[in-house]
């Protein structure tokens, strides 16, 4: 406990020195995506307390749950026909601990494997219906929690599948607009977000920006765009990120939307497996992306930065904490070795 206090005091002292000198603090993460699967439903309150304690230690203010329904399985005790309810309540655990730590939570809706192969009206209508029902149920169950800040539309929109104008309009009219409109009907203060991704092999930055400008005009209640930077999956280099993020910044500014970054802190290996990236690369990503966005979150805390998951994640946690403290050396903090790592790793999706 004493070392934790020392770390926190050092961090506050560093921020104070930056303020006194009139200098800009180094870019940092404002929060993280959190993959919550069936494994996490069985976690104890103490395990969740540890996860949120580590996130608080790094100064996080935002948590985005990637999805509350995976295929037909929920991570909470749903009553929606056709879904399998969880025996525990991971959503409640997340919100309780976010409440206690002064964090905002964006709850992801429905993840579906068909998203990657089916662009039909029938599928989009089905996904829209389930997404609306999920948003309604989640809001009714958890609206008393001060940490509930908004809903995240889980489908990741790429710059290949939906480029065709007919498909773009179908996506906007049959999915994005009805889902976002429905969320606002529950409470107009709820923030509606989406985390698209791009690959430089396909649509270029100028065309990508125009695609989103047209879509924003047709989807007025989509508030927040959180594009994946594509570095972890090698969809882009940092020089490319500047161009794409620049185009998205202009599109968001012209249409009154907010732009964040979904920074990939992993490195994808052969065979699709991923590991935590090196701290040097992550710091470079932070520096490049910060000028374009209001906040930076990342994919994903539980698999790549949680000290309870693996020795590699624990090492990156301490390296990032070291970075926050101006590069001072800190020994491994108490409790930052793997505890009971999740058997489920976060999927990198379209990344």
Dist. CA 321–CA 324, nearest whole Å: 5
Give the H/E segment covering residue 261.
strand 258-264
pLDDT at 331 over 50: no
Contact assessment for residue 264 and residue 233, using Cβ atoms and an 8 Å cutoff: yes
Q: Which pLDDT belongs to residue 17?
A: 45
Phi and psi, residue 42, nearest 5° = -90, 0
Estimate the crossing angle of helix 2-21 against helix 311-324, to 10 degrees: 40
Half-sphere exposure in the Cβ direction for 328 (13 Å, CA): 12
Q: Which CATH class is domain 29-324?
A: alpha beta
pLDDT in tens, 133-184: 999 999 999 999 999 999 999 999 999 999 999 999 999 999 999 999 999 9
Q: Pick the residue with more confidence: 337 or 94?
A: 94
Phi and psi, residue 90, nearest 5° = -70, -30
Q: Please state, rounded to an integer, the average pLDDT across all residues of the chain.
A: 91
Dist. CA 248–CA 227, nearest whole Å: 9
What is the value of pTM for the model shown?
A: 0.90
Dist. CA 286–CA 295, nearest whole Å: 10
pLDDT in tens, 102-138: 999 999 999 999 999 999 999 999 999 999 999 999 9
Helix locations, the chain, DSSP H: 2-21, 38-41, 45-57, 90-101, 121-142, 165-171, 177-186, 205-218, 238-254, 279-289, 301-304, 311-324
Structure tokens at 157: 């929109």
Give residue limits of the domains in the chain: 29-324
């Amino acid at each position: 406990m004493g070392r934790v206090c020392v770390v926190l005091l050092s961090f506050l002292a560093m921020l104070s020195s930056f303020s006194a000198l009139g200098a800009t603090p180094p870019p940092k993460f404002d929060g993280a995506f959190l993959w919550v699967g069936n494994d996490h439903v069985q976690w104890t309150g103490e395990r969740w307390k540890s996860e949120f304690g580590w996130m608080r230690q790094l100064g996080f203010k935002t948590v985005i749950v990637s999805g509350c329904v995976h295929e037909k399985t929920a991570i909470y005790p749903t009553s929606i026909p056709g879904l399998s309810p969880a025996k525990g309540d991971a959503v409640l655990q997340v919100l309780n601990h976010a409440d206690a730590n002064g964090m905002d939570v964006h709850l992801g809706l429905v993840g579906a494997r068909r998203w990657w192969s089916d662009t039909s009206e029938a599928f989009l209508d089905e996904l829209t219906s389930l997404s609306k029902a999920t948003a309604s149920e989640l809001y009714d169950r958890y609206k008393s929690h001060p940490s509930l800040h908004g809903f995240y539309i889980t489908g990741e929109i790429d710059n290949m599948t939906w480029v065709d104008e007919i498909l773009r309009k179908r996506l906007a009219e049959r999915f994005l607009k009805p889902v976002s409109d429905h969320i606002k009907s529950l409470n107009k203060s709820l923030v509606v977000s989406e985390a698209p991704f791009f690959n430089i092999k396909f649509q270029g930055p100028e065309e990508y920006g125009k695609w989103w400008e047209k879509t924003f005009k047709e989807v007025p209640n989509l508030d927040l765009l959180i594009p994946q930077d594509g570095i972890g999956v090698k969809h882009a280099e940092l020089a490319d990120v500047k161009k794409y993020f620049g185009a998205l910044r202009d599109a968001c500014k012209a249409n009154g939307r907010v732009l964040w970054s979904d920074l990939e802190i992993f490195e994808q290996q052969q065979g699709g497996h991923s590991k935590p990236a090196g701290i040097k690369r992550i710091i470079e990503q932070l520096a490049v992306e910060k000028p374009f966005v209001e906040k930076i979150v990342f994919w994903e805390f539980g698999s790549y930065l949680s000290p309870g998951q693996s020795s590699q994640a624990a090492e990156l946690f301490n390296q990032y904490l070291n970075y926050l403290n101006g590069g001072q050396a800190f020994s491994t903090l108490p409790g930052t070795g793997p505890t009971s790592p999740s058997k489920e790793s976060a999927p990198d999706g379209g990344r």
